[in-house]
Structure 1
């Protein structure tokens, strides 16, 4: 999607036969298992399966053009990777123009290899950006716990808590503050979930600048420079660049 653009149900004219749109969306959804850079926009298109419009179909075909321009691009897994997990979590408050629900985005790395990611519209409307951020944090915390359980089943030790990076200071403050105020009672259960995982050394919350918040790519449309930067941070490489001698530069940007 274009930078700062948002699609909604009333954009464009209804399709006479929505079957082709639904089939295309299904194929794109399948591709998101290996192309995390498409995860957000495909999630947006999934909202309009019942009554897609010409504008929605144009966005879908734009994704096809993007894929056609980078057929060799995919996730890179280094043979000399570490087994330390780190994660990034973010949200876009009231992002959906039809329901005003926020969008959650998170991703986790095993060393420098991307192993888990998500872009999902939240189930209820958040009254503030802090509330939306905290709900995103809860989902990421639960995923972190599952990843640690997976490593344990594979007999891989992970002695330290998973570092989970956030760019919202109020979220970090709520997580560290043991006292519930009137304005945080509506997310009290979420607060308990996060604090329990912090106390049990499952996650360790750390601040990060918005310009380095990789999870942004899963919550909103970005300008081209930021999009390309986060693609490299996700560890996406184009095998066609092997002949260009540019792989070393791309690998160093993933560090």
Structure 2
């Protein structure tokens, strides 16, 4: 049919240019076709039907548990039905909601609490929470913390998982919002929490990446090795963010999107930025793996630029540590989340 398979994402196929551009996304036997020309979409569907006898479900409204709603202002994506099923299956439909998924005063540890006699329920909850993070970046850090104890969870870990469920109960319809009127500049926030893991003393990497005002990628993950300093931990987080920015740049090219270059990465560590900009700091960085220094390479090629941002405006902070409800809401309100099922504020839960 003339489609070209995308290298950054092998499930994506594209064809044409300008108004004749069409993208086709495949997951097993589920397919999404997107184009600005409806005639091209109909033509593609007819060709597919001639070979596979497809079932045309019409305009995209529901896909792999994702609920899609369109309006002139943009597109909203949530997993409300999936979240409600999760609450129902775990018995938390009528639970009392909480305003944050974690408790900042308590860090989870592997050897704390009594091991569960049957860890099946815990594993099932975490697995479903992981899938829910597709549209819920606000539970990414909490889910990352809980997923570390799948091999031997305790009753304290289960209690922490139940708190996340109670947080979801507060707004099961919350999800992502992609505004129709937005620039195409990639902006990223990179952060780390040095020595955050009480068991291994490894740091946590957190980043979130925006295309204009739309949040398109985020991560909360424990680093593979122990960092000697907070600067090193921040530098490793910068490397992870840079890799994701480069991948998104390739993906946007396949989608025929002319995004402004370079991408801006905001970091609240001046020392990490100095390491990236000044290769003279050999004594401080000679033990760091070579792949981390790709930050310098992409910086010199003009693919990224680094800017310092104050900790109060570091949006990735919510992906690296627990917060009290007030500060948690301050950070997440800037991620562009939306709750279509909250008519009291017109459906918008973030600025």
**TM-score, normalised with respect to structure 2:** 0.69
Q: Give the CA deviation at 1:180.
A: 3.3
Q: Cα RMSD between the aligned structures?
A: 1.4
Please tell me whether residue 199 in structure 1 is matched to residue 300 in structure 2: yes
Which position in structure 2 is the counterpart of 1:212?
313
2:337 to 217, 220, 236: 236
Relative to structure 2, which stretch is displaced further, 180-189 or 111-120?
Answer: 180-189
Q: Answer yes or no: is the 8 Å Cα contact 2:103–2:324 preserved in 1.
A: yes
Which position in structure 1 is the counterpart of 2:117?
16
| Secondary structure, aligned partner of 2:261 | coil
Higher strand share: 2
Mapping of residues 1-255 of structure 1, within 5 Å? 1-187=102-288, 189-190=290-291, 192-241=293-342, 243-247=343-347, 250=349, 253=351
Q: Answer yes or no: is the 8 Å Cα contact 2:231–2:269 preserved in 1.
A: yes
The runs of 5 or more residues in structure 2 that have no matched partner are 1-101
**1:140, 1:37 → 2: CA distance?**
18
Q: Give the CA deviation at 1:238.
A: 1.6
Higher helix share: 1
Relative to structure 2, which stretch is displaced further, 184-193 or 159-168?
Answer: 184-193
**2:347, 2:186 → 1: CA distance?**
24
Cα deviation digits, residues 11-33 of structure 1 (max 9, x gap):
21100011111111101111011
Inter-CA distance 159–71: structure 2 relative to 1 (3 Å threshold) = closer
| Secondary structure, aligned partner of 1:196 | helix
Q: Give the CA deviation at 1:197.
A: 0.3
| Secondary structure, aligned partner of 2:280 | coil
| Secondary structure, aligned partner of 1:24 | helix
Between 1 and 2, higher relative CO (CA 8 Å, sep ≥ 6) is seen in 1
**1:114, 1:190 → 2: CA distance?**
26
Q: Answer yes or no: is the 8 Å Cα contact 2:202–2:227 preserved in 1.
A: yes
The runs of 5 or more residues in structure 1 that have no matched partner are none
**1:247, 1:106 → 2: CA distance?**
26
**2:312, 2:138 → 1: CA distance?**
17
**TM-score, normalised with respect to structure 1:** 0.94
Cα deviation digits, residues 164-208 of structure 1 (max 9, x gap):
000001001111113133122112625531111011111100000
